[in-house]
């Protein structure tokens, strides 16, 4: 057909096949044109006269059609205009069978929903926006199907996040931030149960086992470093704090000029004091924690006291088999100041 010169596209035929390029050209040609009040009034009146069936037919006819402005970014002015135009708009004739935005959200094209979702990712909402969203959701009851869909969506997003993190090497600063964020957080019994159920039946690979063994080795090295740091009480690099009975023994050793190491880690335990020149291990045992006869005569020991009763003789035997001396001082002996004789007997030359 011959082209019409007055047409910006080149043809005014009604039967012309409207491609995306054609629609875009028409839209660009009509951009900036201002309609008169009379024409706008006519268009609005014509839309009001449409029945719900006609609207439904129109929407069905437009289904699958790709919009001309798909992927074209909107300017700030256009967004502001749309916001003002849609502000406070309510459809008075809204019913269950209407075609308003509120009821046709689920009928949207998948690519449109995905574009909206991708557009909202990473956006930081203000406090006022969050309050509005929370007020809007108040009193809403979700159906079982809706809940299931939400759960599935959350699982998918979680899996995507895990896949994105896997294989990434975090910097020292990020690791430090994560460690500080987790400090002081205590897991509830329910949380612990969920973690145990989740890890049930999980088989560790050889690589993970090697990593775990390396971490345990590092821990032993750290403990040795701490013991070397803590030669005297009050050292700033020491994470431990001495008890009152320990302090009393420490002061006595310092007065008699005995060289020792405090909180010395060896033979699978932390020894309170280790006299390196004499090769003597000194343990200061609390009467309550180690179940001494001065406090308990008829009462049965609890779980922690039972562990101490089993552990103490094993440790003493282990150290004695290596050819070293072991001194165990009770808390009540320190209060009575009877421990000095015991130390003098084992530490010759004092």
pLDDT in 10s for each residue of the chain, 350 residues: 444 445 544 454 544 445 667 777 777 777 767 778 888 888 888 888 888 888 888 788 777 777 767 777 888 888 888 878 777 665 554 544 454 555 555 555 666 677 777 777 777 888 888 888 888 888 778 888 888 888 888 888 777 777 766 667 778 888 888 888 888 778 888 888 888 887 777 777 888 888 877 776 666 666 666 666 554 444 444 455 678 888 888 888 888 888 888 888 888 888 888 888 888 899 998 888 888 888 877 778 888 888 888 889 999 999 899 888 898 988 888 888 777 777 777 776 55
Residue 133: inside a domain: no
Alpha-carbon distance of 260 to 272, in angstroms, equals: 10
Cβ 4 vs Cβ 11: under 8 Å: yes
pLDDT, tens digit, 9 for 90 and up, residues 305-332: 888 888 899 999 998 998 888 989 888 8
pTM exceeds 0.75 for this model: no
Q: Average pLDDT, whole number, for the chain?
A: 76
Residue 157: inside a domain: no
Alpha-carbon distance of 249 to 80, in angstroms, equals: 77
Residue 312: inside a domain: yes
Residue 46: inside a domain: yes
Residue 136: inside a domain: no
What's CA 227's distance to the chain center, in Å? 34
Domain range for 43 is 14-30+38-69+96-109
CATH number for the domain including 290? 3.40.960.10
Q: What is the pLDDT of residue 227?
A: 61
Residue 192: inside a domain: no
Give the domain-ending residue among 81, 109, 137.
109
Give the domain-ending residue among 78, 109, 140.
109
Give the domain-ending residue among 109, 138, 171.
109
Give the count of domains, the chain: 2
Residue 215: inside a domain: no
Residue 120: inside a domain: no
Alpha-carbon distance of 103 to 131, in angstroms, equals: 23
Q: Give the Å distances, CA to CA, from 63 to 20, 57, 58, 116.
A: 14, 10, 9, 18
Alpha-carbon distance of 67 to 109, in angstroms, equals: 11
């Amino acid at each position: 057909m011959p082209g019409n010169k007055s047409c910006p596209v080149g043809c005014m035929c009604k039967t012309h096949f409207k491609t995306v390029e054609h629609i875009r050209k028409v839209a660009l040609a009509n951009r900036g044109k201002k309609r008169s009040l009379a024409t706008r009034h006519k268009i609005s009146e014509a839309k009001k006269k449409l029945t719900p069936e006609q609207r439904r037919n129109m929407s069905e006819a437009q289904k699958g059609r790709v919009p001309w402005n798909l992927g074209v970014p909107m300017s700030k002015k256009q967004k502001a205009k749309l916001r003002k135009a849609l502000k406070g708009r309510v459809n008075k004739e809204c019913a269950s069978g209407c075609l308003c935005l509120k009821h046709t959200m689920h009928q949207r094209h998948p690519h449109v929903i995905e574009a909206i979702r991708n557009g909202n990712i990473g956006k930081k909402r203000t406090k006022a926006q969050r309050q509005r969203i929370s007020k809007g959701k108040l009193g809403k009851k979700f159906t079982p199907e809706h809940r299931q869909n939400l759960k599935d969506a959350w699982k998918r997003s979680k899996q995507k996040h895990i896949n994105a993190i896997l294989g990434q090497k975090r910097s020292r600063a990020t690791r430090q931030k994560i460690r500080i964020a987790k400090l002081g957080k205590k897991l509830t019994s329910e949380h612990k149960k969920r973690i145990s159920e989740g890890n049930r039946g999980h088989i560790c690979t050889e690589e993970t086992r090697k990593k775990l063994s390396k971490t345990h080795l590092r821990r032993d090295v750290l403990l040795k470093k701490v013991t070397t740091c803590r030669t005297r009480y009050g050292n700033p690099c020491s994470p431990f704090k001495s008890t009152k009975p320990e302090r009393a023994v420490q002061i006595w050793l310092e007065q008699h000029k005995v060289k020792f190491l405090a909180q010395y880690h060896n033979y699978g335990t932390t020894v309170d004091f280790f006299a390196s020149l004499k090769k003597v291990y000194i343990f200061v045992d609390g009467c309550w924690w180690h179940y001494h006869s001065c406090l308990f005569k008829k009462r049965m020991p609890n779980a922690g006291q039972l562990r101490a009763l089993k552990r103490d003789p094993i440790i003493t035997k282990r150290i004695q088999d290596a050819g070293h001396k072991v001194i165990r001082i009770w808390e009540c002996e320190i209060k009575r100041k009877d421990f000095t004789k015991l130390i003098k007997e084992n530490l010759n030359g004092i």
